Amino acid sequence: MSLRSSVKSALYGLYARRLTNQLRETTPPRHIGMIIDGNRRWAHQQEGVSIAEGHEAGANKMREFLQWCDDAGVENVTLYLLSTDNLTGRPSAELKNLARIIANLATDLGRVPNWRVHHVGDAAKLPAPLRATLERVAEATATNTGLHVNLAVGYGGRHEITEAVRDIIREHEAAGLGIDTLADDISLDSISNHLYTAGQPDLDLVIRTSGEQRISDFMLWQTAHSELYFVEALGPDLREIDLLRALRDFARRQRRYGS
């Protein structure tokens, strides 16, 4: 390692410790959403690196990101890995590689002691091998009580809300109830209880990499009162200090909830 690299590494470590110390007296968000973006752009910027390798680098970074969140005391993290729009808008070869990379990520996360891994999304829209892996890992980790990791795969916020309302209607019909009482069954609580994240706290903080500043159909219901934080770094270049800065920024904000 060169002298310049050594100095840079030392300064990074000092800054990270300073941020960590600043956060000791603060309460971390209970639920963080991560929109991992910029893997393809990162690959294009690297000489001889394929798009698949860019997605692989992004997945590796998400393994690190989850550990950083766990170390910071965060209880729930949702990773936005593959949207319903991606399933129809990406080339088949890229989707095949993404399915493999996500399956490997889910398997690796399932091996972390006491982490719980949960799939959020429309399983019917996914390739059978990926769907089977997500189901297997979710079942194997279902009783774990540590960091709760949601993998948003084949996920779309509008689709989720639509399906939640449809489920309420189906249950109403199955109970033999008439159309005249259906409206009473549709409420804020009933919709929340039919979402993929039923029983979990709404998202307190949403982080997006790559400098893009949009939600992209991510957790539209659960982010109604979320704080948003945008990082310039592309997905694979995310650093722990980026998360620590986001947590510091979150701690400084006043959450009014309309008051």
Least Cα distance to 68 among 152, 149, 153, 151 occurs for 149
Flag whether 109 is in a domain: yes
pLDDT band at 8 (very low <50, low <70, confident <90, very high): low
> Could you read off the pLDDT of 148-197 as tens digits, one per residue?
999 999 999 999 999 999 999 999 999 888 888 999 999 999 999 999 99
Among residues 108, 53, 109, which one has the least CA distance to residue 77? Answer: 109
- What is the set of active-site residues? 37, 86
- Residue 109 CA, chain-centre distance (Å), reads 13
Residue 183: inside a domain, yes or no?
no
Nearest-10 Cα torsion for 133, 134, 135, 141 = 110
More confident residue, 255 or 151: 151
Examine residue 16 and state whether it is found in any structural domain, yes or no: no
Beta-carbon contacts of residue 88 (< 8 Å; ≥ 6 apart): none
Write down the pLDDT at residue 1. Answer: 57
Count how many domains the chain has.
Answer: 1
Residue 96 lies in a domain: yes
Specify the pLDDT at position 5: 62
Q: How far is CA 132 from CA 99, 137, 169, 196, 236, in A?
A: 11, 9, 28, 17, 27
232 C-beta neighbours (distance < 10 Å), count: 11
Does residue 128 lie within any of the structural domains? yes
What pLDDT, on a 0 to 100 scale, did the predictor assign at position 89? 87
User: What pLDDT does 12 receive?
Assistant: 76
What is the structure's pLDDT at 155? 98
- Domain contains 176: no
- The H-or-E segment that residue 150 falls in is strand 148-155
Per-residue pLDDT, 128 = 97
Residues 6+ apart with CB under 8 A from 92: none
Give strand pairing partners of 222. none
Task: Look at residue 6 and tell me whether its pLDDT is greater than 80.
Answer: no
Residue 145's pLDDT band (cuts 50, 70, 90): very high
Residue 206 is predicted with a pLDDT of 98
- Whether 21 is in a domain gets the answer no
Query: What is the model's pLDDT at position 162?
Result: 98
pLDDT at residue 18, as a whole number:
87
pLDDT band, very low/low/confident/very high, at 256 (cuts 50, 70, 90): confident
CATH number at residue 223: 3.40.1180.10
Query: Alpha-carbon distance 102 to 8, whole Å?
Result: 33
Structural domain contains residue 184? no
Range of the domain at 127: 27-156+202-252
pLDDT-based confidence at residue 259 (cuts at 50, 70, 90): low
Phi-psi region of 186 (alpha: psi -120 to 50; beta: other; left: phi over 0): beta
Residues 85-121 have pLDDT tens digits of: 999 989 999 999 999 999 999 999 999 999 999 999 9
Residues 9-66 have pLDDT tens digits of 767 778 888 888 889 989 999 999 999 999 999 999 999 999 999 999 999 999 999 9
